[in-house]
Amino acid sequence: PHAARGERDAGRADRDDALAARRGQEAPRQRLARALAAPCVALVEHDARLSLLARMPDGSTRARTLPAGCADVAAAEVEFAFQVKRRLHGAHSRRAQQAAERAADALRARLHPPLRALLEGWRGTVVLVHAGLFARLPAALLVDADQDACLAPSLEVASLLDRRDSDTPSLRAAVVAVADRHAPAVAREGDVVARNLGRRMPPLSLTGAQATREAFIGALSSASIMHVACHGAFPPDAPNLAGLRLADGWFTARDAHALARAPRELVLSGCATAASARHDGEEWLGLVRGFAAAGTRRLIASLWPVEDAATAAIMERLHAEGPSPCASLGAVVRELRDGGAHPAIWGAVCAIGGAGTFTTRTDDGGRTAEES
């Protein structure tokens, strides 16, 4: 016991030193007008009304007040969240499915038309600032086939996620899969994803007992794209303990913040891996923020607990559709939405990034959304 305690204390001291070193570094800055190559949209409350505010790539701003008041939108969001929770707790009947579809349609009807009007003429990426209602809503609820959407915690972090790297990233892939009796589909997910990634670059595969914390951190430092399939957890009262369960323990948000390097593109296939919290003035506490600070530019994560088999099928499709799972996500989840899948399934997975998360697009005026 004394030896184990000593190892834990030493590990904690190493992470504290890494965090102290990172805090001592000057945060990278960019002119926002350059970084925000797509509209960044926030939803704000004022005088019992809700308004959408957009910062456009040319530096201009747009605003539109929603016809529905705060109470109306809040009631629709609560009903949508209730239907998602019903599914996650085992309600699989056709009647439950129809109730969930009605709840999703009702919420979309309140938010989608004013968002379309606000962004009239824009085709391509839309950045939804990850605060308030947008932190709990699937992007597929709000956009159409001519738009992709990603989440970002703030304009400044959107700029961070969009910054260009000084070096050329290595073309290496890593796949981590830790299955157990509660998530048996993770094993197949890891095999299929590794095969798909192996068509484009050499993959490193860490499965089962191989997926230790030490091996995981080593893979993070060398891969340009990484897929992680395992259990995830987010304790709201301790967001820095949000984590991924590996073969020999948890990799937490605190560990992520201490990383010197992370893959440019990262998929976190587990429960609530996109969850975050605001505490003591910190914009975004949770697992993803640490990866972003260490160099990740595009992420896929989940807004709530996910179903094992359904999520594995989505992840397998993402890597089969093209070279970037983030670029494939919008089309995959919209197809599931329009094909009648339950909102708890197609709504769980989201993309997180800046304006260049997807591809270069233009609006009707010819302005471009540059790929980062």
Sequence-separated contacts (24+) of 64-67 with Cβ below 8 Å: 64/114, 64/117, 64/118, 65/114, 66/110, 66/111, 66/114, 67/110, 67/114
**CA–CA gap between residue 235 and residue 148 (Å, rounded):** 30
What is the length of the chain? 372
Q: Which of helix, strand or coil describes residue 265?
A: strand
Backbone angles phi, psi at 82, to 5 degrees: -65, -45
- Whether the full predicted model's pTM is greater than 0.75, yes or no, is yes
String of DSSP letters for 34-92: HH--S-EEEEEEETTEEEEEEE-TTS-EEEEE-SS-HHHHHHHHHHHHHHHHHHHTT--
Quick one: pLDDT at residue 24?
54
In this model, does residue 192 exceed pLDDT 70?
yes
Q: Is the per-residue pLDDT at 149 higher than 80?
A: yes
Q: Cβ atoms within 10 A of the Cβ of 198, count?
A: 13
- The model's pLDDT over 215-254, given as tens digits with 9 standing for 90+, comes to 999 999 999 999 999 999 988 888 888 999 999 999 999 9
pLDDT of 83 higher than 70: yes
Question: In the block, which residue shows the tokens 């095999």?
Answer: 191
Going by pLDDT thresholds of 50, 70 and 90, the confidence category of residue 4 is low
In this structure, what DSSP letter does residue 181 have? Answer: T
> Which band of pLDDT confidence, cut at 50, 70 and 90, is reported for residue 365?
very low
42 has which bridge partners? Answer: 53
Higher pLDDT, 145 or 355: 145
Rounded Cα gap, residues 187 and 207, in angstroms: 8
Gyration radius of the chain's alpha carbons: 20
* Calpha distance 62→39 (Å, rounded): 10
pLDDT greater at residue 204 or residue 156: 204
Residue 119 near residue 308, CB atoms below 8 Å: no
For Cα atoms 207, 301, 240, give the angle at the middle one, nearest 5 degrees.
90
125 against 272, higher pLDDT: 272
Q: What is the mean pLDDT of the chain?
A: 83
> Which tokens hold the place of 341?
């899948």
How much is the pLDDT for 360? 39
Contact of 207 with 155, CB cutoff 8 Å: no
In one-letter notation, the amino acid at residue 23 is R
Element (H, E) at 249: strand 249-252
pLDDT in tens, 289-342: 889 888 888 899 999 999 999 999 999 999 887 778 888 898 899 999 999 999
pLDDT of 201-218, one tens digit each? 888 999 999 999 999 999
pLDDT digits (tens, 9 = 90+) for 15-61: 666 656 655 554 444 444 344 678 889 998 888 899 999 988 888 89
